[in-house]
A and B are shown apart, each in its own frame.
Chain A
Amino acid sequence: MKIDYQHKMAAHCENGAIMSLLNHHGIKLSEAMIFGIGSGIYFSHIPIIKLNGLPLTSFRPWPGAIFKRASKALGIDVEVKKFRNPEKAMVALDDNLERGIPTGMVVGVFYLDYFPAPYRFHFNAHNIIGVGKENGNYIISDPIMESFEHLSYDSLKKVRFAQGLQAPRGKMYYIKNLPNEINIKVAIIKGLKRTVREMVILPGPVIGARGIKYLSKKVRKYPKRYSPREASKRLGQIVRMQEEIGTGGAGFRFLFAAFLQEASEILENKRLNELSASMTEIGDMWRDFAVHAGRIIKERNEVETYDSIANLLLDISAKENIVYKELAKVVKEESLKA
């Protein structure tokens, strides 16, 4: 059987899965909207946490956070299930499909057959939606892919029970109840408020706009501290996290700018559109950073140095700081109105 489902592509799988499920239930919200409501923009550089043996730089909150926040802010009742037994997890999925419920699943991408091989790492927080079963194969709507994909029973079971960091343990979710009315304005303000909190208010040097400054300091020291090869590996990791599949470009900065633009119309606040334009500029600066970092890694020229890209990061940090502080003012105004 196959559920009558419209495949929706998205830049990021997590927003994309919610957008796509909501769309199926008649709520048309854009990916950017969900990203913003779920406070998807983020930054942290925490050297003591290692990913593939390299310091972790993060442009997004912990996987699943956007999903949780957005569904809560919109008042959507989502049923989430985890399993110990893989067979039972598959039966539960079959049950759902039988009843015509499109079901989201968290999977690992390493053994995901249809995924492009160079992108297959043990990343265990990819989101896909099961929409049917045909001749024993599952029909999958994956927000990253351009059209429907198919997975065999064994393949799907394997990716649902992927091992390693953040093993999904068969996690699946579906929309149980929708609110009669969605107050989008309140949800937007809530999302913005949390963003402001995470990016400028939370204390400590490693998170938010200050975290970018911290990263700049670290990057400046790379050539003194590490061998050229190790330094370039560390730099590569930052760019990879920034431009990884599904950021929509520039470490989610453009996606956030798109959200601000949309929010500006809904809240009828011109200031937000101006801030969206500033965010676009910041995104372009992040892209510059990636271009220069790429040249350093490839050792293409001597003009760019670790010093010059560290300066660029410092600029970005200052600019982001201003934008979030301005956003804080907007949030204050709007919460009084709402």
Chain B
Amino acid sequence: MKKKEVPQDDANLLEGKTRELQYAVDEKGNYTIVKSVGWEPKNIVLQQTWEEINEKLEQVREQVKAGKYSPLYYHMKKHLLTKRMLAKYAGISVFKVWFHLKPKSYAKLSKENIEKYKKALNLKPEEDLGNVD
């Protein structure tokens, strides 16, 4: 890749927080470092991943609203967690997490456990674990 050809296709995926270093050659054929804000093919595949995730999440939201799963299930999916990971982050056994994903057991959750989940999911104290919108 030539220095002049380093792409600058900004799709705001880096959110202006940083730029990526790319290695490219200058006119004399020497390697230099150029900062880049993005490249189209790369943006496409990253967006593809998130579209996929968000689409699935919409389905999960519907399922939760229909009472098939508890709101915890929605949060778990939103954070791309598995049951085991959620259990570890919250410090609650996988077995219990499995139960808490069902609406019936979720309704009986203790205050203490709700706090644990909220902390694991980085929810603020005023935010409601039951809110899936």
B1 and A280 form a contact (CB under 8 A): yes
Closest to B85 in A: A163
B92 CB–A CB distance under 8 Å: no
Interface positions, chain A 243-299, Cβ under 8 Å from B, are 243, 245-246, 248-250, 254-255, 257-258, 261-262, 276-277, 280, 283-284, 287, 290-291, 293-294, 297-298
In whole angstroms, how far apart are the Cα atoms of A243 and B85 in the complex? 27
CB of B118 to closest CB in A, whole Å: 13
A258 and B48 form a contact (CB under 8 A): no
In whole angstroms, how far apart are the Cα atoms of A214 and B89 in the complex? 39
Q: How large is the interface on B (under 10, 10 to 19, 20 to 34, 35 or more residues)?
A: 35 or more
Chain B positions within 8 Å of A52 at CB level:
49
Chain A positions within 8 Å of B46 at CB level:
118-119, 240
B31 and A245 form a contact (CB under 8 A): no
Contact of B42 among A11, A116, A262, A290 (CB under 8 A): A290
A258 and B18 form a contact (CB under 8 A): no
Contact of B31 among A246, A258, A298 (CB under 8 A): A258
Chain B positions within 8 Å of A283 at CB level:
1
Chain A positions within 8 Å of B48 at CB level:
232-233, 236, 297
With A116-B17, A245-B20, A248-B23 as given contacts, are A294 and B41 in contact (CB-CB < 8 Å)?
A: yes
A125 CB–B CB distance under 8 Å: no
A17 CB–B CB distance under 8 Å: no
B15 and A116 form a contact (CB under 8 A): yes
A222 CB–B CB distance under 8 Å: no
Closest to A114 in B: B17
B15 and A118 form a contact (CB under 8 A): yes
In whole angstroms, how far apart are the Cα atoms of A334 and B73 in the complex? 59
A144 CB–B CB distance under 8 Å: yes
Contact of A290 among B18, B30, B41, B50 (CB under 8 A): B41
In whole angstroms, how far apart are the Cα atoms of A298 and B31 in the complex? 32
B14 CB–A CB distance under 8 Å: yes
In whole angstroms, how far apart are the Cα atoms of A248 and B1 in the complex? 11
A249 and B82 form a contact (CB under 8 A): no
Chain A positions within 8 Å of B40 at CB level:
291, 294
A163 and B89 form a contact (CB under 8 A): yes
A254 and B24 form a contact (CB under 8 A): yes
B25 CB–A CB distance under 8 Å: yes
B44 and A297 form a contact (CB under 8 A): yes
CB of B39 to closest CB in A, whole Å: 7
B1 and A145 form a contact (CB under 8 A): no
Chain A contributes a number of interface residues (CB within 8 A of B) equal to 51
A326 CB–B CB distance under 8 Å: no
Chain B positions within 8 Å of A262 at CB level:
31
Closest to A289 in B: B41
Contact of A164 among B14, B31, B85 (CB under 8 A): B85
Most-contacted residue by chain A among B20, B33, B45, B50 (CB, 10 A): B45
A254 and B23 form a contact (CB under 8 A): yes
B49 and A257 form a contact (CB under 8 A): no
In whole angstroms, how far apart are the Cα atoms of A293 and B33 in the complex? 26
CB of A22 to closest CB in B, whole Å: 18
Chain A positions within 8 Å of B104 at CB level:
none
A312 CB–B CB distance under 8 Å: no
Chain B positions within 8 Å of A293 at CB level:
41, 45
A67 CB–B CB distance under 8 Å: no
Interface positions, chain B 1-55, Cβ under 8 Å from A, are 1, 6, 13-15, 17-25, 29-31, 33, 39-42, 44-46, 48-50, 52
A117 CB–B CB distance under 8 Å: yes
B13 and A258 form a contact (CB under 8 A): no
CB of A286 to closest CB in B, whole Å: 10
CB of B14 to closest CB in A, whole Å: 5
What would be 18 A-B contacts, judged by CB atoms less than 8 Å apart? A11-B22, A116-B17, A116-B18, A118-B13, A118-B15, A122-B81, A144-B18, A163-B81, A163-B89, A232-B48, A240-B45, A246-B20, A249-B24, A258-B31, A276-B31, A287-B1, A290-B39, A294-B45
Question: A residues bordering B, Cβ < 8 Å?
Answer: 9-11, 32, 52, 110-111, 114-119, 121-122, 144-146, 158, 163-164, 232-233, 236-237, 239-240, 243, 245-246, 248-250, 254-255, 257-258, 261-262, 276-277, 280, 283-284, 287, 290-291, 293-294, 297-298
